[in-house]
Structure 1
């Protein structure tokens, strides 16, 4: 076991599937205690079994205001501390439909923003309030949502809006709460497999990144650089 996150207690929103679960596994391997949050009760059970004794799972809808706060309180009760938040967009069995603007419905627009942005705002708010209430610093990492292609290879307009908003929101609150020793950073990806993000997430939540704040780390295998050449 590595020890980059030894003695840290971390809440992972969207932590029972996909990138969130992969990150939670990496956190545990690096010595952390974790509370993972997901919508599906079966996924919560499987995640808790998979992660072992240093983990707890909490079922809940991250777009509801109480969910993240309940998970943070569970983390404090079970592990005696709350040190970091990792927010990953949760895999949904019925993802919101999106597409070119002329076909984009208002319900799909709202659903996409709720899933990717409202849930993030609520989780970040709960974390910041808890850190300030405990008079301690902490770290937040927000995973910027992956943008799937739609018909005619056009990007999802609502998804693209959410991706940009996550980055802008995170930078804004990073500036606001830096004086409280609260760090907020973003991992941005379009193409990586979930496990490819784990090392970056571990670093950003560790004390090795104590002077890293308000940054967007792009983990895409160099795709964004290559696309700029053509």
Structure 2
């Protein structure tokens, strides 16, 4: 799949750490130029230094409706075009009040929806507008989660988060149906537990790690790595998927087909 993204300019919202940064590396290795966006200025600077001249890194908040249009403009200005969007930004609202339904605070609900759903709406809308303006078609890839349809009540009970990830599937499929005649594709990647900054709580809990060994049994039973998703991301962002839209691919180590064992 060498040079699968040759000549492509890709915007990755949430591309300065974790899954997004790993995808940015993979896209550049396949010939793309990328604009990566992250909330933290230090992370954006590190990404810029690492990824070099094939990258423009921006420090901005994905929940701000001006962020994605500005990133797309950077792709057009610096790299001469805009061909694909990968929305990775999002995270847990647990510290803000997400949890089981009867415990979710109003603040936790609003925060989690803004973080995971409003930010994605902002970026997808900006991409659709630009693709229509260009008359070029293009690819939008959204980050979901298996928790959107395959819950795990023992260790991962954040119902606002699950609601946002489920909504991403419905939103993406609806957009895919509407924009197919414009050759604008919308798809979803849905990981299970992956070792990212968001997953530090789970990654450091031995009980959860023991559960993961049976819930994600592939490759010896382990937590996922960001690069486990890279090949799938490259596929969806490339012309290799030009006949694919409205699909959800779980890259989950077997999560969705495994029972998972606990001591409880």
- Counterpart Cα distance in 2 of 1:23 and 1:114: 23
Report the Cα offset of residue 95 of structure 1: 5.4
- Counterpart Cα distance in 2 of 1:103 and 1:205: 39
Equivalent in the alignment of 1:226: 258
Equivalent in the alignment of 1:203: 235
Report the Cα offset of residue 64 of structure 1: 0.8
Stretch deviating more after TM superposition (166-175 or 143-152): 143-152
Report the Cα offset of residue 106 of structure 1: 0.6
Equivalent in the alignment of 2:87: 87
Question: Counterparts in 2 of 1:99-178, with a 5 A limit?
Answer: 99-145=99-145, 147=147, 153-178=155-180
- Counterpart Cα distance in 2 of 1:91 and 1:185: 19
Deviations 1:103-126 (A, max 9, x none): 110101111111110000010000
CA RMSD after TM alignment: 2.2
Report the Cα offset of residue 99 of structure 1: 0.9
Contact 2:35 2:58 (C-alpha < 8 Å) held by counterparts: yes
Contact 1:20 1:90 (C-alpha < 8 Å) held by counterparts: no
Following superposition, which runs of at least 4 residues in structure 1 exceed 6 angstroms of deviation?
Answer: 148-151
Deviations 1:51-74 (A, max 9, x none): 111000011111011000000001
Deviations 1:77-131 (A, max 9, x none): 0000000000002468995341111111010111111111000001000000000
| TM-score normalized with structure 2 length | 0.81
- Counterpart Cα distance in 2 of 1:146 and 1:65: 27
Q: Which runs of 5+ in 2 are unaligned?
A: 194-223
Q: Secondary structure at the match of 2:114?
A: helix
Report the Cα offset of residue 141 of structure 1: 0.3
Alpha-carbon spacing, 1:23–1:97, altered in 2? closer, same or farther (3 Å): farther
Report the Cα offset of residue 153 of structure 1: 2.7
Instruction: Work out which of the two has the higher radius of gyration on C-alpha atoms and give 1 or 2.
Output: 2
- Counterpart Cα distance in 2 of 1:166 and 1:45: 29
Q: Secondary structure at the match of 2:66?
A: helix
Question: Counterparts in 2 of 1:49-64, with a 5 A limit?
Answer: 49-64=49-64
